[in-house]
């Protein structure tokens, strides 16, 4: 039986060169970065070298980067600090944000009595820019706008330049969860001055359990974790040296080969869409995922013409990994909160599947998936 992995929006296979870097670091650099002897200094140098390289890729200062255990921690660190340190008393987000944002905002609302507003979306899940502008016209509050660069389920790319212009005009802060966007959408923090971003290595062929937050220079940071002064006092805990170096290597590879990977995966995505439309009647695509300009090149969210409750299970039995939504809510029995927010009640009852691709996938794999789908869907 073939094994085909079409769930790269959930996580990606680690690049072999990244594994090599991680292994070498684990073997050679085992000192504590906070120790003052040569072993500790060597470890500290590796952490700071990785920080500088990531900063160069993003065109920001190394001092603006805080290493974390992943994207969810980075989002939490940013959102809590915006409220506790920067005086934010209103957060504007969307109902299709990742739960790392929505659940954190819920806690902040209960604990700090902040105001929460949800910006309107169109039928494809795009932000209504006029509504955002209207919400921000109310200067009673100090506002933070929190919107994903790339939606992890439908792949929509945020009109980030328009969002920044609206936020700056209305003196609002802007946070973007770029976990699904980094390595799939170019980010230059000088040309696109987002105040806060969050990232996670395992979305771009790096290791799990490591990520980072970027705080625009001048913003103070209070830690969520206490017990040490690591990360310039922003996060207690001994730095995960081998994973940090692996993350930097993975990001460097992704950026160096960005156009090559984009073109290759875009071709796979287009081929898959063509085969789906040729093989099944009344097939639809959720959000902008079928638009090669308005969606990330690695995500395609497919809606079939009726409910097939065992479809994902049947695909899994044939060795095919795909998703009905975010892996973070795979245990939910309420369906995708993203699709429930943008689809009609009738369409939300139909089976939708997110297929997501990487540089390791092939057209032969797509042909096999189409063949299996034809056997299952009647």
- Distance from C-alpha of 33 to C-alpha of 121, rounded to nearest angstrom: 46
Q: At 89, which helix (H) or strand (E)?
A: none
- Distance from C-alpha of 206 to C-alpha of 76, rounded to nearest angstrom: 21
Nearest alpha carbon to residue 145 among 123, 112, 168: 168
Strands 211-215 and 196-200: antiparallel
- Distance from C-alpha of 76 to C-alpha of 78, rounded to nearest angstrom: 5
Nearest alpha carbon to residue 18 among 157, 160, 201, 152: 201
Number of H helices, E strands in the chain: 12, 12
Q: Map residue 8 onto helix, strand or coil.
A: coil
**DSSP secondary structure, 281-305, as one string:** TT-EE-TTTT-TTTB-TTEEEEE-S
DSSP 97: S
Reply yes or no on whether 328 is catalytic: yes
**Helix ranges (DSSP H) in 188-309:** 241-256, 258-279
- Distance from C-alpha of 257 to C-alpha of 157, rounded to nearest angstrom: 20
370 φ, ψ to 5°?
A: -60, -45
DSSP 203: G
* Active-site annotation holder among 26, 328, 376, 377: 328
Q: Map residue 177 onto helix, strand or coil.
A: strand
Nearest alpha carbon to residue 300 among 125, 179, 154: 154
Tokens of 369: 């998936």
- Distance from C-alpha of 214 to C-alpha of 175, rounded to nearest angstrom: 10
As annotated, the active-site residues are: 328
């Amino acid at each position: 039986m073939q094994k085909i992995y079409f769930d790269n929006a959930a996580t990606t296979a680690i690049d072999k060169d990244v594994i090599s870097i991680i292994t070498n670091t684990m073997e050679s650099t085992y000192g504590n970065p906070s120790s003052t002897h040569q072993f500790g200094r060597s470890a500290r140098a590796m952490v700071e070298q990785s920080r500088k390289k990531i900063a160069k890729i993003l065109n920001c200062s190394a001092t603006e980067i805080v290493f974390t255990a992943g994207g969810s921690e980075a989002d939490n660190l940013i959102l809590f600090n915006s409220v506790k340190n920067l005086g934010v008393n209103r957060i504007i987000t969307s109902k299709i944000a990742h739960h790392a944002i929505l659940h954190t905002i819920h806690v902040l609302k209960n604990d700090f009595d902040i105001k929460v507003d949800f910006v309107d979306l169109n039928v494809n899940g795009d932000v209504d820019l006029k509504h955002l502008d209207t919400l921000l016209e109310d200067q009673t509050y100090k506002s933070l706008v929190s919107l994903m660069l790339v939606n992890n389920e439908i792949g929509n790319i945020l009109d980030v330049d328009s969002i920044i212009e609206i936020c700056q005009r209305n003196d609002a802060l802007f946070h973007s969860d770029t976990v699904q966007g980094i390595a799939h959408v170019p980010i230059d923090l000088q040309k696109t001055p987002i105040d806060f971003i969050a990232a996670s290595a395992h979305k771009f062929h790096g290791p799990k359990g490591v990520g980072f937050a970027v705080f625009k220079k001048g913003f103070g940071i209070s830690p969520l974790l206490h017990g040490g002064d690591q990360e310039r006092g922003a996060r207690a805990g001994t730095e995960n040296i081998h994973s940090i170096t692996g993350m930097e290597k993975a990001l460097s590879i992704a950026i160096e080969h960005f156009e090559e990977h984009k073109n290759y995966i875009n071709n796979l995505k287009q081929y898959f869409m063509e085969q789906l439309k040729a093989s099944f009647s009344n097939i639809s695509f959720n959000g902008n995922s079928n638009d090669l300009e308005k969606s990330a090149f690695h995500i395609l969210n497919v809606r079939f013409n009726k409910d097939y409750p065992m479809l994902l299970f049947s695909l899994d039995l044939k060795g095919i990994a795909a998703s009905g939504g975010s892996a973070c809510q795979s245990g939910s029995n309420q369906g995708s909160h993203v699709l429930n927010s943008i689809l009609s009640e009738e369409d939300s009852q139909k089976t939708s599947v997110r297929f997501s691709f990487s540089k390791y996938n092939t057209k032969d794999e797509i042909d096999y998936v189409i063949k299996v789908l034809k056997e299952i869907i009647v």
